[in-house]
Amino acid sequence: MRSITLIKFFYLPFILMFFFIIGMALSIYNVFNKGYESELAAWKTLLHEQQKITHLTSLLDLRNQLKLNLGDMLVGEPSQKDINAKFNQLPALRQQIVEQSSNLERLAASGAEIMLLHKHREALEDGLAKQFFFQSLIQDFGLQNDAVEYFNTEVRPAQDFADSLLSNYFQLVTERVKVLQQHYAHDHGQTKQQFNRGMLVAVLALLLLVGLVTWFVGRVRKKFEQHTTSLEKEVRARTLDLERSKNQAAQSVMELKSVLDSAPDGIFQVDRYGKIHSANLACESVFGYKQDELIGQSIFMLVSEQLTAFHKRKLRNFTIKDQEKVLQMGAGGRVQGRHKSGRTFALRIALGKIDSQSFSGFTLIVRDIDKFVKLDLENKNQKALLDTLWHANNQFMINKNIVEVADYLLGKLLKITRSQYGFIGEVLFDEKNNPYLKTHAVTSILSDKSLHVIDAQEVDHVNELRALDTLLGEGLKNKSIIISNDSANHNRAPGLPESPPSLDAFIAIPVFHGTKLVGFYGLANKPGGYSSEDVKFLTPFTQSYGVIIQFKRMQSEQARLNDELILKISETERANQAKSEFLSSMSHELRTPLNAVLGYTQLLMTSKQLTEMQADSLNEISVAGKHLLSLINDVLDLAKIEAGQVNLVMEKLDLAKLLKECEGSVLPMATEKQISLKFNTAEALSVIGDRVRLKQVILNLLSNAVKYNNEAGQVEVVVKSDGNLIKISILDTGVGIAEDKREKLFQPFNRLGYEGSAVEGTGIGLSITKNLMELMGGNIEYFARPSGGSNFTISLMADAGQSVLSDKNPDLSSLSGSHSKPESEIKRVLYVEDNPSNLKLMQAIFEHFPSIEFVHATTPSTSLKLAESGRFDLILLDINLPEMNGYELAEQLKNMPHLKHTLYFAVTANVFVSDRKKADSSGFNEFVSKPIDIAGFTALLDKYELI
């Protein structure tokens, strides 16, 4: 029993120890199991954060590519092909940026991450709209300068804002990685400590009960060793996994650092007091300091000293409200930076807050915008210069005052170039061809004698600078640009005053129009002096001012020529007016008696009771009268042609019909001289011309061919088609024209040696013919016939169609009583004429028309009384009447209600184009010229159904 009890007693502690050891083993297993699960969870979390860093790295790389593509549009002068190629890459980049942003949003775990990525997505949408507008400025409108300004003011700030949000997001992820690493290290240490404590307790228990468990150790040793080996392998495997995760996290951090180092902008991490904790490689190129030189230094050593206190306050007072946006340091986001070399330049600094357990401070993104600021200033100056030139040109076009324009230009130029003094003027040359400057605007300092730049006395008195021993004189002589940034030591500027105002820098630029020196202007005391870049910048100004000077000279020359032209025109107009008045007066005075002579001759020739001698006498009177009328018409035609008063009615004309009419007109003359006429008009041809004037041309050539022909000679008319031209040749068998007189063939009043011959003529017919042909778009040529005689050929444009003209040519047989009408249809005609012979002639004409009641008056007042007494179907008015002229009388007659629909004919010896136009404008239905062609007048009466 004791043995049994002893065994029980022996087994009881063993059993207790066994359970104790089992409990300890379970506890150790639970510790390892929990540690493993905790480490696995930490690994998954680290893997999740690694994915964020991977997407963030890809997103930053894509954004850098987008910036580079957009920035390339602002560098140099890319071709349209390069611009299109660059812009064609942008949609794919933007799509990838949006996809990576969406990936980051899906991986976001905390509210802060979601908020930052939400802001980043809004920034992307805002930046995308601005990028599209920037792209349109370049690609659609070609506005490079406007695109640069819009890029700097809108697109780049939007990109910087989005980048700063990603920077904040990166800091947030980095902090989370650090926290996870700390948690991982903490959990791993606790697990190891618990394991060590458990092992120590187990060893102590085993040592205390070694005697009790000696035999048990042997039995379980193998299993325990196996279990321990398994646990050690698992621990090593888990430790290796954790090390691998740690290395991957470190690799991600290194990759992110590489991305930051490859960024074009400088990126700093500073604490709340401005101490630099990290800086990427771009900071070296921006400020000239090495990275190790920047670490531990104050960020304020890199900005202007005047703004240091302000920026320190900004950092100290950075609030949560500021953290919600990207804060830009400096006015308008610009700060004066300080390079290691000491020079200052323009910076843009974006400020973002970092607030984590391990670090509290700020991220500063720094960009060197000095070249963009200079480019912006240059663009503004260029725009200001172009606006100035535009306003100056407008001002000159309106005022035509070059002095006012020069004064305006000089004032604007001083402001744009930041110069203190200047002058501007025009270069002239004296009688010895020495150049001198006539100043249009000048500041007082340059005319100081002690400065010896230009001669002050000349400026004060006549504004002409003739001294050539000055700075300006040197440029005038050499036609060269003068740049002197050390004017005090210039060999042309002795005796400069020691006290202000002083001439520190000077530039003088010649102004050319083509290769001719036309002007000069100069500027002085620009801060930093002048260079060839100023000359290049001022090129549009130089060229525009040269154009203004040349235009002013052209205006002066044009004004002089205009004055001379006006004087000559005035003299010509007075001469033409005198000639027109003389011709009009002579025409009226000659036609008035001819009206009676030819009118009565026409009436008498209709009588059947004439003897042969009377008929022959009347025929001679008619021929002589018509010849006199022809002479008058020729003189008037020549005057009208010279005055440009010939009105043509261009139409299709049936050439065969027209030539037939001309043949009938010239046949009596040819028969009298026994000249045979032959017309070759087999083809049915049409031409474009004025019917009356073409008939006049052909009749003139035919009558000349008959007059200057030999007895029993021949006149032949040949019509030929030559492409688009119709040529009419009139050939005669006369003596022709001597070769030495042919050059004077078409001169007016030149009869070519026939002045004393029996052949009648004035010598102006061919001149009129040539002018009329040219007015109709044709021409006339003369050819000597080999067999003797002349060949006059006229050419006109052909027309494929046929003329549809028909002429009504009533003869004197219409003056009969065959048109008599019943008493109820009798027409009433009133004729107002102060010349008795003309009145009798018209009365004699109307005696042949029993159906017309003829009433006459010799004064306008009498005619008005007659018109009040009843209606009239036709009123014939002479234009030259006493008391009032025919136009004024017609106006009063038309005011009578019962005469509103009456016909009005103007009957006058004034036959100029101006007289016909005045009659038309005064409301006359027809214009009847004196001497009256009774047949034509009868046709007019028939036209209006009066007979």
Residue 221 — pLDDT band, cuts 50, 70, 90? Answer: low
Lowest mean pLDDT among 255-269, 487-501, 675-689, 823-837: 487-501
pLDDT for the residue numbered 448: 44
Distances, alpha carbon 56 to alpha carbons 60, 644, 934, 942, in Å: 6, 88, 110, 105
pLDDT for the residue numbered 903: 93
Half-sphere exposure of 202 (CA within 13 A, CB side): 19
Continuous segment of H or E residues that includes residue 427: strand 421-429
* Neighbour tally for 235: CB within 10 Å: 16
Which is it for the CA torsion 888, 639, 584, 807, positive or negative?
A: negative
Residues 700-726 pLDDT 10s:
888 888 888 888 889 999 998 888 888
Phi, psi of 100 (to 5 degrees): -65, -40
Residues 440-458 pLDDT 10s:
888 754 444 433 444 444 4
pLDDT for the residue numbered 6: 42
For range 136-161, the mean pLDDT: 77
Q: Over 70: is that where the pLDDT of 325 sits?
A: no
For range 332-342, the mean pLDDT: 76
Q: Over 90: is that where the pLDDT of 157 sits?
A: no
Instruction: Kindly provide the residue ranges of all beta strands, DSSP E only, lying in 789-932, ordered along the sequence.
Output: 790-799, 827-832, 852-857, 874-878, 903-908, 926-929
Q: Over 60: is that where the pLDDT of 24 sits?
A: yes
For range 118-135, the mean pLDDT: 77
- Smallest Cα–Cα separation from 275: which of 306, 243, 310, 312? 312
Q: In DSSP terms, which residues pair with 830 in a beta bridge?
A: 855, 875
Q: Which two structure tokens, joined as six digits, stand for 555?
A: 């205006």
Cβ(410)–Cβ(422) below 8 Å: yes
pLDDT for the residue numbered 459: 41
For range 740-769, the mean pLDDT: 64
* Neighbour tally for 117: CB within 10 Å: 20
pLDDT for the residue numbered 4: 44
Residue 331 — pLDDT band, cuts 50, 70, 90? Answer: low
pLDDT for the residue numbered 874: 94
Q: Which two structure tokens, joined as six digits, stand for 499?
A: 């006290």
Q: Over 50: is that where the pLDDT of 256 sits?
A: yes
Return the top range by mean pLDDT from 20-34, 99-113, 417-431.
417-431
| 831 or 74: which leads in pLDDT | 831
Residue 541 — pLDDT band, cuts 50, 70, 90? Answer: confident
Q: Over 90: is that where the pLDDT of 68 sits?
A: no
For range 231-260, the mean pLDDT: 74
pLDDT for the residue numbered 206: 62
Q: Over 70: is that where the pLDDT of 356 sits?
A: no
For range 152-172, the mean pLDDT: 78
H-assigned helices in 263-369:
282-287, 291-294, 308-316, 320-323
Q: Over 80: is that where the pLDDT of 817 sits?
A: no
Q: Over 50: is that where the pLDDT of 53 sits?
A: yes
Percentage of the residues of the chain whose pLDDT score is greater than 70: 73
Lowest mean pLDDT among 554-563, 721-730, 935-944: 554-563
Whether this model's pTM surpasses 0.85: no
Cβ(160)–Cβ(326) below 8 Å: yes
Residue type, 798: A
Residue type, 825: E
For residue 298, the 8-state DSSP code is B
Q: Over 90: is that where the pLDDT of 13 sits?
A: no
Peptide bond into 91 cis (omega under 30): no
Q: What is the largest CA-CA distance in the chain?
A: 206
Residue 787 — pLDDT band, cuts 50, 70, 90? Answer: confident
Lowest mean pLDDT among 317-321, 809-813, 822-826: 809-813
| 230 or 187: which leads in pLDDT | 230
Query: How many residues make up the chain in this entry?
Result: 947
For range 357-366, the mean pLDDT: 74
Q: Over 90: is that where the pLDDT of 915 sits?
A: no
| 862 or 40: which leads in pLDDT | 862
Residue type, 782: Y
For range 352-376, the mean pLDDT: 73
Q: Over 60: is that where the pLDDT of 318 sits?
A: no
For residue 828, the 8-state DSSP code is E
Distances, alpha carbon 273 to alpha carbons 283, 296, 303, 313, 322, in Å: 19, 11, 15, 10, 17
pLDDT for the residue numbered 349: 78
What span, in angstroms and rounded, lies between the C-alpha atoms of 329 and 248?
36
Residues 388-414 pLDDT 10s:
778 777 777 777 788 888 888 888 888
Q: In DSSP terms, which residues pair with 466 in a beta bridge?
A: none
pLDDT for the residue numbered 634: 65
pLDDT for the residue numbered 410: 86
Continuous segment of H or E residues that includes residue 345: strand 344-355
Residue 805 — pLDDT band, cuts 50, 70, 90? Answer: very low
| 78 or 766: which leads in pLDDT | 766
Q: Is 700 exposed, middle or buried (0-12, 13-18, 19+ CB in 10 A)?
A: buried
Q: Over 90: is that where the pLDDT of 251 sits?
A: no
For range 378-388, the mean pLDDT: 76
Q: Over 60: is that where the pLDDT of 691 sits?
A: yes
pLDDT for the residue numbered 875: 94
| 423 or 18: which leads in pLDDT | 423
Q: Which two structure tokens, joined as six digits, stand for 865?
A: 């009384």
**3-state secondary structure string across 581-635:** HHHHHHHHHHHHHHHHHHHHHHHHHCCCCCCHHHHHHHHHHHHHHHHHHHHHHHH
| 823 or 226: which leads in pLDDT | 226
| 339 or 762: which leads in pLDDT | 339
Q: Over 60: is that where the pLDDT of 814 sits?
A: no
For residue 826, the 8-state DSSP code is -
Cβ(638)–Cβ(674) below 8 Å: no
Residues 878-890 pLDDT 10s:
988 888 999 999 9
Q: Which two structure tokens, joined as six digits, stand for 509?
A: 């630029």
| 566 or 312: which leads in pLDDT | 566
